[in-house]
């Protein structure tokens, strides 16, 4: 038997759904930095999570945890993909994994980018369409979740870098953690570009939060009947080679935003191991 802390706020999606107060960007960056630190601990132990999605991020007060390591495996052992397919939650899975390639630390980074967007935008990824082979094809062709216009550009650029189709373009876990940690300290210290960006975006989101009705909130969390957010067996054949699409709007930025697909070239500055839960 193992006794661990009870996370009364549930997983990340529960936390967002239940929250009655506005969650500001400073708080979100802090939690993302914690999650990145937990992922760094996993990767420093030469493991990969392999099932990294918002349902496996647990929240308790101001702390965050990465949970459910049932599929966690050594990162340095070559794995043979079985004929019957792979397990996971489709919207969070890297395109190379969907094609049957070996799961790497970079695949966890891709998942982090999707989780990051879900947390910042408070929108469930691909919640309005079926999670089937057609979505897998679109992801390989460059489709990504919408990036809201009220997400600070520095954060948007980092997400785009995390979910780049090219593995080599994604940040390492250490780079990811150091970047978020630097931004949290800058925001807390009320200095630097990140502080001014989140200050402006917080104004916009606070106003939207005040004007949002309970009905609007419930609508934002509704999902398509064929959208599945629990791990399951997936078996897709002959998926296209992953690309950062120019045809399909790769990053689907919300209308009237000034962001462009050129965000893919962003280069953010570089600045405990448990068998069940990694404390972050």
What would the pLDDT profile of 152-204 be if each residue is shown by its tens digit? 999 999 999 999 999 999 999 999 999 999 999 999 888 899 999 999 999 99
Stretch among 91-100, 169-178, 214-223, 228-237 having the lowest mean pLDDT:
214-223
Is 255 inside a domain boundary? no
Closest CA to 107 of 126, 88, 83, 135: 88
Token pair for 163? 């979910």
Is 256 inside a domain boundary? no
- H helices of 3-140, where? 12-18, 25-44, 95-98, 105-121, 133-140
* Residue predicted with more confidence, 47 or 254: 47
Is 14 inside a domain boundary? yes
- Token pair 């002959």: residue: 238
Is 264 inside a domain boundary? no
Token pair for 34? 């914690």
Is 167 inside a domain boundary? yes
The model's confidence at residue 215, banded by pLDDT at 50, 70 and 90, is low
Q: What is the mean pLDDT of residues 229-242?
A: 93
- Cβ-defined contacts of 81-84 (< 8 Å, 24+): 84/233, 84/235
Whole-number Cα distances in Å, 230 to 68, 91, 106, 226 = 12, 11, 21, 12
Is 253 inside a domain boundary? no
Number of domains in the chain: 1
Residue pair 41/278 in contact by the 8 Å Cβ criterion: yes
Residue 250, pLDDT > 60, answer: no
Find the CATH number of the domain harbouring 214. 1.10.510.10
CA separation for the pair 166, 267 (Å, rounded): 14
pLDDT in tens, 11-39: 999 999 988 899 999 999 999 999 999 99
Residue 217, pLDDT > 90, answer: no
Token pair for 100? 């049957």
Whole-number Cα distances in Å, 220 to 147, 200, 211, 216, 254 = 15, 23, 14, 6, 15
pLDDT in tens, 63-109: 899 998 867 777 766 665 555 678 999 999 999 999 999 999 999 99
Token pair for 167? 């593995």
Is 225 inside a domain boundary? yes
Range of the structural domain that residue 206 is part of: 10-234
Is 88 inside a domain boundary? yes
Q: What's the start-to-end Cα distance of the chain, in Å? A: 22
The model's confidence at residue 218, banded by pLDDT at 50, 70 and 90, is low
CA separation for the pair 268, 203 (Å, rounded): 24
């Amino acid at each position: 038997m193992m006794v661990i802390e009870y996370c009364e706020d549930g997983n990340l999606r529960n936390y967002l759904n239940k929250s009655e107060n506005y969650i500001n960007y400073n708080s979100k960056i802090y939690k993302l930095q914690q999650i990145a630190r937990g992922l760094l601990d996993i990767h420093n132990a030469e493991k990969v999570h392999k099932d990294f999605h918002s349902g496996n991020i647990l929240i308790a007060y101001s702390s965050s945890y990465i949970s459910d390591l049932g599929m966690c495996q050594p990162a340095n052992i070559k794995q043979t993909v079985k004929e019957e397919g792979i397990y996971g939650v489709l919207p969070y899975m890297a395109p190379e994994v969907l094609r049957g390639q070996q799961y790497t630390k970079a695949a966890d980074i891709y998942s982090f980018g999707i989780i990051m967007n879900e947390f910042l935008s408070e929108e469930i990824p691909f919640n309005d369409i079926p999670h089937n082979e057609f979505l897998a094809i679109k992801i390989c062709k460059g489709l990504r979740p919408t990036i809201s216009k009220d997400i600070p550009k520095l954060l948007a650029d980092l997400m785009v870098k995390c979910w780049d189709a090219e593995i080599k373009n994604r940040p390492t876990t250490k780079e990811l953690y150091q970047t978020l940690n630097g931004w949290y300290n800058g925001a807390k210290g009320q200095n630097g570009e990140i502080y001014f960006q989140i200050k402006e975006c917080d104004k916009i989101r606070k106003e939207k939060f005040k004007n949002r009705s309970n009905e609007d909130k419930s609508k934002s969390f509704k999902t398509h009947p064929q959208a599945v957010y629990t791990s399951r067996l997936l078996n897709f054949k002959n998926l296209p080679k992953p690309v950062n699409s120019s045809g399909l709007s790769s990053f689907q930025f919300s209308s009237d935003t000034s962001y462009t697909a050129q965000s893919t070239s962003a280069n953010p500055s570089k600045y405990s191991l448990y068998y069940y839960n990694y404390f972050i």
